[in-house]
Structure 1
Amino acid sequence: MTQHNATHSAAPTRREHRLGDPVVLVLSVGFILLFIALSLYDVDWVAEGIGAGFAWTAATLGSYFQLLLLLTFFIGIGVALTPAASARIGNLATPEISTFKWLSIIMCTLLAGGGVFFAAGEPVYHFVVTPPAFDSEAGTVDAVAGALAQSFMHWGFLAWAVLGSLTAVVLAHAHYDKGRPLQPRTLLTPILGERIIQGPVGGVIDALCVIAVVAGTVGPIGFLATQVSFGLHELFGVSEGYGTQLAILVALAVVYVTSAVTGIHRGIQILSRFNVFLALAIAAVIFVFGPTLFLTNAFTQGFGTYLTSFFSMATMTAETAPAWWMQWWTVFFFAWFIGYGPLMAIFVARISRGRSIRQMILAVAVMAPIATTIWFTLLGGSGIHYQLTGVIDLTEALNNFQFDVATLTVAQALPGGTLMAVAILVLTTIFVATTGDSMSYAIAVVGSGHDRPSSLIRAFWGIAMAIMAGILLYMGAGQISVLQQFIVITAIPVSLVLLPSLWTGPQAAYAMAREQGLLARRSVETPDA
Structure 2
Amino acid sequence: MTTPRNGTSSPSRSSPANPRDLSAGQYRLGDPVVLCLSVGFIVLFVGLSLYDIDGVAGAIGAGFAWTAKALGSYFQILLLLTFFIALGLVATPAASARIGNTRTPELSTFKWVSIIMCTLLAGGGVFFAAGEPIYHFVVTPPAFSAGTEIEAGTNSAVAPALAQSFMHWGFLAWAVLGSLTAVVLSHAHYDKGQPLQPRTLLYPVLGERVMKGPLGGVVDALCVIAVVAGTVGPIGFLATQVSFGLHELFGVANNYLTQLLILIGLGAVYVTSAVTGIDKGIQILSRFNIFLALAIAVVIFVFGPTLFMVNAFTQGFGEYLTSFFAMSTMTAQSAPDWWMQWWTAFFFAWFIGYGPLMAIFVARISKGRTIRQMVLTVAVLAPVATAIWFTLLGGSGIFFQLTGVIDLTEALSNFQFDVATLTVAQALPGGTGMAAAILVLTTIFVATTGDSMSYAIAVVGAGHDDPSPLVRAFWGIAMALMAAILLYMGSGQISALQQFIVITAIPVSLVLLPSLWTGPQAALAMARIQGITSLKSSVPGEA
Tell me by how many angstroms 1:525 deviates. 5.4
- Between the two proteins, what is the percent identity of the paired residues? 80
Residues 1:294 and 2:318 aligned together: no
1:196 alignment partner in structure 2: 210
CA deviations 1:382-441 (Å, max 9, x no partner) are 000000000000000000000000000000000000000000000000000000000000
Tell me by how many angstroms 1:198 deviates. 1.6
Residue 13 (structure 2) aligned to one of 5, 30, 35? 5
Residues 1:435 and 2:449 aligned together: yes
1:76 alignment partner in structure 2: 86
- Distance, in Å, in 2 between the alignment partners of 1:491 and 1:185 is 15
Residues 1:259 and 2:273 aligned together: yes
- Distance, in Å, in 2 between the alignment partners of 1:297 and 1:513 is 43
User: Do the aligned partners of 2:98 and 2:368 also contact (CA within 8 Å) in 1?
Assistant: yes
What is the identity, as a one-letter code, of the residue corresponding to 2:96? S
User: Do the aligned partners of 2:524 and 2:535 also contact (CA within 8 Å) in 1?
Assistant: no
Q: Indicate the SS of the match to 2:29.
A: coil
Residue 243 (structure 1) aligned to one of 245, 257, 276? 257
What is the identity, as a one-letter code, of the residue corresponding to 1:143? A
2:65 alignment partner in structure 1: 55
What is the identity, as a one-letter code, of the residue corresponding to 2:69? A
2:121 alignment partner in structure 1: 111
Residues 1:212 and 2:226 aligned together: yes
Residue 246 (structure 2) aligned to one of 229, 232, 235? 232
List aligned pairs for 1:397-408, cutoff 5 A: 397-408=411-422
Q: Indicate the SS of the match to 2:332.
A: coil
Tell me by how many angstroms 1:5 deviates. 2.4
CA deviations 1:455-496 (Å, max 9, x no partner) are 010000000000000000000001000001100000000000
What is the identity, as a one-letter code, of the residue corresponding to 1:93? R
Cα–Cα, structure 1 residues 520 and 388, in superposed 2: closer, same or farther, change >3 Å?
A: same
2:50 alignment partner in structure 1: 40
Residue 190 (structure 2) aligned to one of 176, 183, 193? 176
What is the identity, as a one-letter code, of the residue corresponding to 1:498? L
Tell me by how many angstroms 1:360 deviates. 0.3
User: Do the aligned partners of 2:521 and 2:538 also contact (CA within 8 Å) in 1?
Assistant: no
- Distance, in Å, in 2 between the alignment partners of 1:243 and 1:11 is 44
Tell me by how many angstroms 1:13 deviates. 2.8
Tell me by how many angstroms 1:93 deviates. 1.4
User: Do the aligned partners of 2:60 and 2:500 also contact (CA within 8 Å) in 1?
Assistant: yes
Residues 1:155 and 2:169 aligned together: yes
1:458 alignment partner in structure 2: 472
User: Do the aligned partners of 2:144 and 2:160 also contact (CA within 8 Å) in 1?
Assistant: yes
What is the identity, as a one-letter code, of the residue corresponding to 2:22? T
List aligned pairs for 1:134-149, cutoff 5 A: 134-135=144-145, 136-149=150-163
Tell me by how many angstroms 1:521 deviates. 4.3
What is the identity, as a one-letter code, of the residue corresponding to 1:22? P
Cα–Cα, structure 1 residues 470 and 444, in superposed 2: closer, same or farther, change >3 Å?
A: same
Residue 363 (structure 1) aligned to one of 377, 398, 405? 377
Q: Indicate the SS of the match to 1:162.
A: helix
- Distance, in Å, in 2 between the alignment partners of 1:138 and 1:271 is 40
User: Do the aligned partners of 2:204 and 2:539 also contact (CA within 8 Å) in 1?
Assistant: no
Cα–Cα, structure 1 residues 30 and 342, in superposed 2: closer, same or farther, change >3 Å?
A: same
User: Do the aligned partners of 1:508 and 1:528 also contact (CA within 8 Å) in 2?
Assistant: no
Normalization by structure 2: what TM-score? 0.96
User: Do the aligned partners of 1:24 and 1:203 also contact (CA within 8 Å) in 2?
Assistant: yes
- Distance, in Å, in 1 between the alignment partners of 2:14 and 2:390 is 41
Residues 1:24 and 2:38 aligned together: no
User: Do the aligned partners of 1:6 and 1:178 also contact (CA within 8 Å) in 2?
Assistant: no
1:393 alignment partner in structure 2: 407
- Distance, in Å, in 1 between the alignment partners of 2:234 and 2:127 is 8
| Number of matched pairs | 528
Q: Indicate the SS of the match to 1:29.
A: helix
Tell me by how many angstroms 1:123 deviates. 0.2
- Distance, in Å, in 2 between the alignment partners of 1:393 and 1:42 is 38
Two-structure CA RMSD over aligned residues (Å)? 1.0
Residues 1:334 and 2:348 aligned together: yes
Tell me by how many angstroms 1:14 deviates. 2.9
The runs of 5 or more residues in structure 2 that have no matched partner are none
CA deviations 1:230-261 (Å, max 9, x no partner) are 00000000000000000000000000000000
Residue 102 (structure 1) aligned to one of 99, 103, 112? 112
Tell me by how many angstroms 1:188 deviates. 0.4
Residues 1:312 and 2:312 aligned together: no
What is the identity, as a one-letter code, of the residue corresponding to 2:58? E
- Distance, in Å, in 1 between the alignment partners of 2:84 and 2:321 is 14
User: Do the aligned partners of 1:6 and 1:176 also contact (CA within 8 Å) in 2?
Assistant: no
Cα–Cα, structure 1 residues 109 and 12, in superposed 2: closer, same or farther, change >3 Å?
A: farther
2:540 alignment partner in structure 1: 527
Tell me by how many angstroms 1:94 deviates. 1.1
User: Do the aligned partners of 1:70 and 1:158 also contact (CA within 8 Å) in 2?
Assistant: yes
278-287 vs 192-201, greater mean Cα deviation: 192-201
CA deviations 1:291-313 (Å, max 9, x no partner) are 00000000000000000000000
Q: Indicate the SS of the match to 1:298.
A: helix
Tell me by how many angstroms 1:73 deviates. 0.2
Q: Indicate the SS of the match to 1:111.
A: helix
- Distance, in Å, in 2 between the alignment partners of 1:330 and 1:525 is 35
User: Do the aligned partners of 1:16 and 1:448 also contact (CA within 8 Å) in 2?
Assistant: no
- Distance, in Å, in 2 between the alignment partners of 1:405 and 1:180 is 46
User: Do the aligned partners of 1:6 and 1:177 also contact (CA within 8 Å) in 2?
Assistant: no
What is the identity, as a one-letter code, of the residue corresponding to 1:491? A
1:14 alignment partner in structure 2: 23
- Distance, in Å, in 2 between the alignment partners of 1:16 and 1:153 is 45
List aligned pairs for 1:340-379, cutoff 5 A: 340-379=354-393
What is the identity, as a one-letter code, of the residue corresponding to 1:245? Q
Residues 1:469 and 2:483 aligned together: yes
- Distance, in Å, in 1 between the alignment partners of 2:20 and 2:452 is 20
